[in-house]
């Protein structure tokens, strides 16, 4: 296969969104897994809702709103100081163990994050996670103000990469993102992390792997 550029999803693919559990448990003992799960599900739902409603709020704003929702859902007091602290934890998500070395090995390809996150949250995340030296670009959907899996979002990424869609390998662990990217025309590698599952929409990735290290092997 011809691959001139890599477009890599950030949340759940390069970074473990549930690495906030420890910070949550520090505030609400034993509530970390449940709160983190609701927080993530509602975060995704809000991106889809605002896109369908043809309005836009930054991913940072929606992440905060989904955190408040999750806290209320679990009947936890939505204290502003606690919310601010957990939002800062979201800027310090942990990359999966193989990510930095795999990205370093992939330096012969243009390596770009392509994310629903807005630049103000992606830049510190990349810096804090140690990924800045092993990435060439950060592409956010914010300039087009529409979230993945809108085809407009993938088209924008293609334009920013300057590479035809069929020569881009899109890498994600999120089933909705796999379906959206493959429908657009990217080559797609799905990283099956944990209990992740593909959507039942008749769209399948070109490759199924267990980690970013296996993407390195695909391109070797």
Selecting among 9, 16, 79, 177, the annotated active-site residue is 9
The CA-based diameter of the chain, rounded to the nearest angstrom, is: 52
Question: Is position 16 annotated as part of the catalytic site?
Answer: no
**Distance, C-alpha 18 to centroid of its chain:** 12
Q: In whole angstroms, what is the distance from residue 25 CA to residue 35 CA? A: 9
Residues 6+ apart with CB under 8 A from 169: 1, 3, 5, 6, 7, 186, 187, 188, 189, 215, 219
Q: Specify the 3-state DSSP secondary structure of 126.
A: helix
Sequence-distant contacts of 85-91: CB under 8 A, at least 24 apart: 85/23, 85/27, 86/20, 86/23, 86/24, 86/27, 87/60, 87/63, 89/20, 89/23, 89/24, 90/20, 90/63, 90/121, 90/125, 91/121, 91/124, 91/125, 91/128
* Residues belonging to the active site: 9
């Amino acid at each position: 296969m011809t691959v001139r550029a890599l477009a890599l999803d950030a949340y759940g693919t390069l970074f473990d969104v549930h690495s906030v559990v420890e910070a949550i448990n520090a505030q609400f003992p034993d509530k970390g897994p449940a709160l983190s799960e609701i927080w993530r599900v509602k975060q995704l739902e809000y991106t889809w809702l605002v896109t369908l409603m043809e309005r836009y709020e930054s991913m940072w704003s929606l992440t905060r709103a989904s955190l408040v929702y999750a806290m209320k859902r679990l009947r936890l007091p939505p204290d502003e100081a606690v919310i601010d602290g957990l939002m800062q934890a979201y800027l310090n998500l942990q990359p999966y163990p193989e990510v930095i070395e795999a990205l370093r090995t992939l330096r012969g390809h243009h390596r770009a994050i392509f994310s629903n996150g807005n630049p103000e949250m992606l830049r510190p995340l990349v810096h804090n996670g140690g990924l800045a030296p092993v990435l060439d670009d950060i592409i956010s959907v914010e300039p087009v103000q529409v979230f993945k899996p809108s085809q407009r979002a993938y088209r924008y990424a293609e334009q920013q990469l300057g590479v035809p869609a069929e020569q881009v390998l899109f890498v994600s662990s999120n089933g909705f993102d796999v379906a959206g990217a493959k429908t657009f025309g990217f080559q797609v590698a799905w990283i099956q992390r944990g209990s992740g599952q593909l959507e039942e929409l008749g769209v399948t990735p070109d490759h199924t792997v267990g980690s970013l290290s296996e993407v390195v092997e695909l391109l070797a």
